[in-house]
Amino acid sequence: MTSTVADLDIHPRLDSPTLRGLIHSRHPLWTPAELRTLTSTIADRLSTRLLDVVRFASPLRWWTRVAVTDEVEVWLLSWLPGQGTLPHDHGGAAGSFTVIMGELAETYRYPAGPIRNALHTQGAAVAFGAGRAHQVQNLGTRMAASVHAYSPPLVPTRDYASLRDVPDEIPTLPTQRATT
């Protein structure tokens, strides 16, 4: 599903000079603001390609990796009405997502903070730091799709029964990239 070029894996149907330029090698970690700019720019400049690649599946959600480097990973996800994630964190990675189709509801919490809700419509971009846990759902009646980015890449998520179970500190998990 991906082609490898040095330390860069890109989905073959999304590979383009635009995407390569956006995710080129740079300083080790991306900030939440930089990730928001990345997902917004990918959603804007590659929307036709993304919508051509996206698929909708039931009962499980569909996703595919767009690209991964040593510093960032990018995913394309689809959401049928009623589909969503469990409450989870991103193992200490910063992240962002941009809605490219439909709308997504997000319930989120920072450790020791209140649980909050937000509705993100098409074009909305969300950035978050390493300490945020959230649950994302399509509560609407239309299909939705979104582009996500995380830095550092390949850090596993940690699920929770409820956002009330988020600990006072979210420890960083190791990446899952194989070392050579």
Asked whether the predicted pLDDT for residue 178 surpasses 80, the reply is: no
Q: Is residue 170 part of a domain?
A: no
Round to whole Å and give the CA distance between 131 and 109. Answer: 9
* Of 97-101, 129-133, 147-151, the least confident: 129-133
| Selected residue with higher pLDDT from 1 and 85 | 85
Give the per-residue SS3 of 20-89: HHHCCCCCCCCCHHHHHHHHHHHHHHCHHHHHHHCCCCCCCCCEEEEEECCCCEEEEEEECCCCECCCEE
Task: For residue 71, give its domain range.
Answer: 3-165
State the DSSP code for 91: T
Span 118-137, pLDDT tens digits: 999 999 999 999 889 999 99
Q: What pLDDT, on a 0 to 100 scale, did the predictor assign at position 1?
A: 36
**Are the CB atoms for 74 and 39 separated by under 8 Å?**
yes
Q: Is residue 149 part of a domain?
A: yes
Q: Is residue 175 part of a domain?
A: no
Span 38-61, pLDDT tens digits: 999 999 999 999 999 999 999 999
Buried b (16+ CB within 10 A) or exposed e, 99-113: bbbbbbbbbbbbeee
Q: Is residue 177 part of a domain?
A: no
Share of the chain above pLDDT 70, in %: 94
Q: Is residue 88 part of a domain?
A: yes
- Band of residue 6 on the pLDDT scale cut at 50, 70, 90: very low
Share of the chain above pLDDT 90, in %: 81
Among 153, 152, 132, 180, which Cα is nearest to 66's?
153
CATH value at residue 147: 2.60.120.10
Total number of domains in the chain:
1
Asked whether the predicted pLDDT for residue 111 surpasses 70, the reply is: yes
Q: Is residue 125 part of a domain?
A: yes
Round to whole Å and give the CA distance between 52 and 66. Answer: 13
Q: What is the mean pLDDT of residues 18-41?
A: 92
Among 87, 72, 65, which Cα is nearest to 175's?
72
pTM, two decimal places: 0.91
Burial of 18 (0-12, 13-18, 19+ CB in 10 A): middle
- Band of residue 26 on the pLDDT scale cut at 50, 70, 90: confident
Q: Is residue 65 part of a domain?
A: yes
Q: What is the mean pLDDT of residues 156-177?
A: 88
